[in-house]
Amino acid sequence: MLPRWDNSYSVYNAKVDEQHKKLFELAAEVEQISDRSVDKTKVKDLLAGFFNYMKEHFHDEEKYMQTIGFPDLDPHKKIHKDIIQMMIDLIKNIRSTNDLKEKLYVAAKKWLLEHILFEDMKVAEYRKSLLASEDGSDISFEASDDDDTQVYSYFYTCACKGKIHDVPFNVHQKIQKNKKKFNCKVCKQTIKFYKTT
């Protein structure tokens, strides 16, 4: 059985998390049809929806990783490219509806388990590693299941050229309400709220 979304899979970026949730839902649909008799058109429609949504998601996720300066962006992009190619190959080599359902299920499982649950968690860990509190206390990036506001993030800058810190709600609150200071671990300077207007 494929895993269901929960906040422990969060990368602490609202847009990327919402897209991951949608991909979990699509994978659940794939799982539901995997052991049922289903019309080939329904399977193809599900495959097309899954494929198109993945391409959109990969584009947005790569922009996010570039924004935060994720050092393994190029290898991550290659993984995305390989997944897209796997989906293209799957579409080209359909022999029967059952074959399509089986391959689609394997692709969804591989993508969810190996990509979101392993590769995308590296992005979340990198993001956590970027900040240090001025007093040395731990920074919590955790989102609770009953508080979706914690996955929303705010942009901060530091002295590093072109660096953007994508700060989660709970850290943003500490800075704004408690006047707590957080420093970039690279330049050691206090981060400042980045106003886009």
Cα–Cα distance, 164 to 156 (Å, whole number):
6
Cβ partners under 8 Å of residue 156, min gap 6: 164, 165, 167, 175, 182, 191, 192, 193, 194
Return the pLDDT at 73: 95
Alpha-carbon gap, residue 193 to 62, rounded angstroms: 23
Which of helix, strand or coil describes residue 105?
Answer: helix
* pLDDT given for residue 137 in this prediction: 56
* Pairing relationship of beta strands 192-193 and 153-157 according to DSSP bridges: antiparallel
pTM value is 0.71
By three-state DSSP, how is residue 165 classified?
strand
pLDDT of 60: 92
Mean pLDDT by 10-residue block, N- to C-terminus, for the chain (197 residues)? Answer: 83 85 87 81 82 89 89 94 85 77 80 82 85 60 48 77 79 84 88 72
Alpha helices (runs of H) in the chain, residue ranges in sequence order: 14-33, 40-67, 73-92, 97-110, 120-129, 169-178
Q: What is the pLDDT of residue 47?
A: 82
> How much is the pLDDT for 146?
46
The pLDDT of residue 134: 62
Q: What is the pLDDT at residue 145?
A: 45
Question: Could you report the per-residue pLDDT of 100-156, keeping only the tens digit for each?
Answer: 788 788 878 877 777 888 899 898 888 878 776 666 555 555 554 444 444 456 888
